[in-house]
Chain A
Amino acid sequence: MRRNGHFLGAALAVMLFGMAQPAMAQSEIKIGEINSYSLLPAFTEPYRKGWQLAVDEVNAAGGIDGKKLVVVSKDDGGKPADALTAANELVSSEKVAMLTGTFLSNIGLAVSDFAKQNKVFFLAAEPLTDAVTWAKGNRYTFRLRPSNYMQAAMLVEEAVKLPAKRWATIAPNYEYGQSAVAVFKKLMSEKRPDIQWVDEQWPPQGKIDAGPVVQAVAAANPEAILNVTFGADLVKLVREGNTRGLFKDRAVVSFLTGEPEYLDPLKDETPAGWIVTGYPWYDVKMPEHAAFLKAYQAKYNDYPRLGSIVGYQTIKAAAAILAKAKSEDPEKLIAAAEGLSVPSPFGEITFRKIDHQSTLGAFVGKTALKDGKGVMVDSVYRKGADYLPSDAEVAKLRPAE
């Protein structure tokens, strides 16, 4: 019985090979897209709707140089190794012009390294880690969303105005949480040397035991709290915190909490007055956004989440890059993307030449409770370009080509 398996393997491989055949028609341009659809549906479903809307719009406007835009989408299940299998399929079998997508930081990094090795253009949509554009940046990789650093800088700008001197932090125990806390602490302490960091809690991502964590933070008696947890962890934390009075008379600064993906599940338990980054779709004044919102609601009869914006803008930006390059050659795509300015629902954004980070920004505002639902109020759009370190510093952060 030993190697009969290999025969089966060969047969299956032939089958796989056969499946991936439809050769690229000359009248199409394909973009490969990878995301954690099965692991993080709360974010990726609106994201998918966003990019599908963008594809429709691009093709309705005549496609790219008369060619139809096609997005081939794959699920990575939240595993870097599976994302690489998908990337391989997209590049080798589907012959896509570029790769886009990814949510988790480690997957973003894995695909960016694949892009570097195989000389493929990669537009990272969502992964927040600073490493994507800085410490582990490479010339094939660009990123759309404001990085960890940028969001921290936006929050710090508000946080330094608080009188609080005693701070505690609660963050999920993995790279995202660790670097968010590290950047926040660094920037805060630079501007406010008088601040004391009195406690830090590191619950495992997705497995917070909220009661003891809330109790431990309360025992340190901080005047303000930095929160980095999100998703189901945030729900548990908020519920325990509300019941135990943790947030009473304390300022809270919180990453991502204003995004509808994470704010809406809190419903009537939404704590008021948290300083957050997010996306108040009901309160965005830009005319570009009004057009996006109308189109989105007409197509889906649902309101957009931040994921919808990310998905929409990723494909819009990718189409703009392809249109400008007039080629699928990665070198030409890089040349086209560097310094390229494209319209977005939040106004014009630019892909910086120096580190390939886009200048897409985020909204900073406060949480409030309205009609039994959580909303963001007093929100202001912060342009990404204003929250990045100087070019000299960035040059030091990025490895030399």
Chain B
Amino acid sequence: MAFYVVQFLTGLASAASLFLVASGLSIIFGVTRIVNFAHGAFYMLGAYVAFTLTERFSGAIGFWGGVVAAALIVAALGVLVEMVLLRRIYHAPELFQLLATFGLTLMVEDLVVLIWGPSDLLGRRAPGFKGAVDFFGQNVPSYDLFLIGLGPVVLGALWLIFQRTRWGVLVRAATQDRDMVAALGVNQKWLFTSVFALGVFLAAVGGALQIPRDAVHHAMDLRIIVDVFVVVVIGGLGSIIGAFVAAVLVSELNAFGILIFPKISIILLFLVMAAVLIVRPWGLFGKPEVTARRTPGLTVNPWRPLSSKGRLAAVTALLLAATLPLFAGNYALTVGSEIAIFVIFAASLHFMMSVGGLASFGHAAYFGLGAYGVAFLAKMAGLPMITCLLLGPALALAGAALFGFFAVQLSGVYFAMLTLAFAQIVWSIAFQWVEVTGGDNGILGVWPEKWAASPSHFYWLAIGVAALAVAVLRNIVFSPFGYALRATRDSPRRSDAIGIDGKLIQWTAFVIAGTFAGIAGALFAYLKGSVFPDSLGISLSVDALVMVLLGGVETVSGAVVGAIVYKALSIFLVSQTDLSKLILGGVIVLVVIALPKGIVGVLETIRQRRRPRPEPPLLASRIGTAE
């Protein structure tokens, strides 16, 4: 019995650590609607700065003072980031801020290694909480008890701030309806900055308090960021109590789950999230999202099919690209093939995101399913390459049909997180089912047949399929189905009223996008000759998002350019420099500041301005503030 009590307490201590970080993320998202990918980076910085301070100043005052000072320093850094970077892009298309915070995260990962060195660092134990307390023969670390106490204290303090102070009232109002708060004359800039500072402060405290339990190292950010997102979503976005309950729920399920299924930790979080979201689409304590007061259509340059001049240019570009094998070496051709494959992948996500208005955080699932489909067919059934390429994506199609059905019942960030949960579930199956998938050692020896084996032939195959895929997706955009999809995106109610079955349309779009991602994955398997679970992983999903955002989400085919630029740049940097993440992150941040609509988005706006226009400027005044 004592054991179960202690295991429960241990779970609570884990929950408290998780809650500190998650609460900050929840507050930031609730008010600013920023998907703050850099939250993990701030958590990590908190730990590193606190490590330095607590090593320098010993004793109880040194330690606790160091923790608080570290959090304040990092919060100040957060303020700087908000004012210099994020403030410029509140008006950018949805999720664009994700790109900025992703760039920051990349930079921080390289910076901490430059500043603090590559080794794992062991910080001090907390003065006064070094030992353990005996509980009927079981040892409970006193630091755990401290954390267990701290969790509710922070929860209570946040509750008081939000309920009892004017600032808290404004924050709650902004969480509910930012436009109305702005209309009432509240200075949003400072409200957002202060909220961001508080969120970052909580993340940094969370990181600093890990010093006595953890090692400080450069991968701490990625270890926590996805977990806290999941906790925030399970709890319901913007709900602090929800975050607390969710943290306790997943931590306790893990603490007791591993007694029965020792391998459960790897997937537990995502299983819980999928289950919660299917039953409660807005999380445990969340409320249905108030339909944002935006008038889409006005925010986008109207899309048109390519003019004949545009078509000619596109075909010329394709023909030019096809001449690459005449003068480039094998390496350039292989890189070219890889880029072409990522063009398909990014275009498929772009189709879902910008045409369907459905941003997926787990699009790699279908890319990876396509790759595994090919690997199964080629290695187990021994089918010829053409058959594998045609049938392999069917696995992606099936996966998209199954998961898409559940996912399209949701919208916004909840939709995105459910797709992430599904992707992680598929990933963990590939990772754990060693007999079939080879686990993380993957499936080897999926090489192309002779006719496609030479780099130039494979390159032609890849750009051919890519051109075809982009053309087909474009045609779908301008087909009646595409119009119905856009109608559903822009105005669910009106489209419903004229008889469009929105969910069915979105589901179909999901399946189309998943299948095209599967085609990309199928080619990728042959390009690399092997398939590993990381082709289903989160980082690939994030890469795809970055490509789409970089290209411009409000464009028809921006993802094509985004994929080419991002992939070529990252391959080039990884090959030529040791600080590829720092430079790539820096470039992304610069792009975000200079081109807040993505590369193609800005190009199109310029072209639009130059063109003599019969109508008044569409973008003269944007409605809303931080849409």
Chain A interface residues toward B at CB < 8 A: 1-10, 12-17, 19-20, 37-39, 41-42, 44-45, 74-75, 77, 79-82, 84-86, 88-89, 92-93, 105-106, 109-110, 113-114, 117, 129, 131, 136, 173-175, 178, 199-204, 206-207, 209-213, 215-216, 218-219, 231-232, 235-236, 239-240, 243-245, 261, 264-267, 269
Contact = CB atoms under 8 A, between A and B. Distances in A.
B601 to A, nearest CB: 10
Given A92-B334, A239-B212, 13 more contacts: A5-B564, A9-B321, A13-B328, A19-B572, A80-B530, A80-B534, A81-B534, A85-B571, A202-B266, A215-B10, A216-B7, A235-B215, A243-B131
Nearest to B314: A3
B568 A9 contact: yes
22 contacts: A3-B321, A5-B560, A9-B564, A13-B336, A16-B331, A42-B118, A77-B580, A80-B528, A81-B524, A81-B534, A85-B334, A173-B266, A201-B262, A212-B10, A213-B258, A215-B255, A219-B7, A232-B214, A240-B213, A243-B141, A264-B119, A269-B122
B330 A92 contact: yes
B334 to A, nearest CB: 5
A201 B317 contact: no
A2 B471 contact: yes
Contacts of A15: 572
Nearest to B455: A92
A215 B220 CA distance: 23
Contact of A110 (B310, B431, B532): B532
Interface string B499-515: 00000000000000000
Interface string B10-48: 110110000000000000000000000000000000000
A212 B321 contact: no
Contacts of B262: 199-202, 216
Contact of B561 (A5, A204, A210): A5
B564 A17 contact: no
A4 B324 contact: no
Nearest to B219: A206
A245 B215 CA distance: 19
Given A4-B561, A232-B217, A42 B119 contact: yes
B470 A89 contact: no
Interface in B297-341: 306, 310, 313-318, 320-321, 323-324, 327-336, 338-340
Nearest to B130: A243
Contacts of B621: none
Contacts of B600: 1
Contact of B317 (A7, A42, A80, A174): A7
A86 B120 contact: no
A42 to B, nearest CB: 5
Contacts of A204: 265-266
Interface residues of B, number: 113
Contacts of B467: 3, 6
Contact of B575 (A41, A44, A89, A265): A89
B535 interface: yes
B555 A41 contact: no
B223 interface: yes
A236 B471 contact: no
A154 B333 CA distance: 47
Given A175-B440, A231-B120, A3 B317 contact: yes
A240 to B, nearest CB: 7
Contacts of B334: 85, 88, 92
B217 A42 contact: yes
Contacts of A232: 120, 214-215, 217, 219-220
Contacts of B336: 9, 13
A26 B504 CA distance: 65
A4 B313 contact: yes
A355 B188 CA distance: 68
A175 B430 CA distance: 12
Nearest to B113: A41
B350 interface: no
Secondary structure dominating the interface of A: helix
B156 interface: no
Contacts, number: 294
B118 A41 contact: yes
A39 B530 CA distance: 21
B571 A6 contact: no
B535 A81 contact: yes
Given A2-B471, A117-B529, A265-B122, A209 B564 contact: no
Interface string B522-537: 0010001110101100
Interface in B546-584: 555-558, 560-561, 563-565, 568, 571-572, 574-576, 578, 580-581
B441 interface: yes
A390 to B, nearest CB: 25
Contact of B321 (A6, A74, A201): A6
B387 interface: no
A113 B139 contact: no
Interface stretch (B74-82, B229-237, B442-450, B481-489): B442-450
B94 interface: no
Interface string B603-626: 110000000000000000000000
Contact of A85 (B212, B318, B338, B560): B338
Contacts of A136: 441, 444
Nearest to A104: B440
A209 B265 CA distance: 9
Given A3-B314, A232-B120, A19 B576 contact: yes
A3 B557 CA distance: 9
B463 interface: yes
A74 to B, nearest CB: 6
A245 to B, nearest CB: 5
B411 to A, nearest CB: 28
Contacts of B132: 243-245
Contact of A75 (B109, B219, B313, B574): B574
Contacts of A129: 441
B168 interface: no
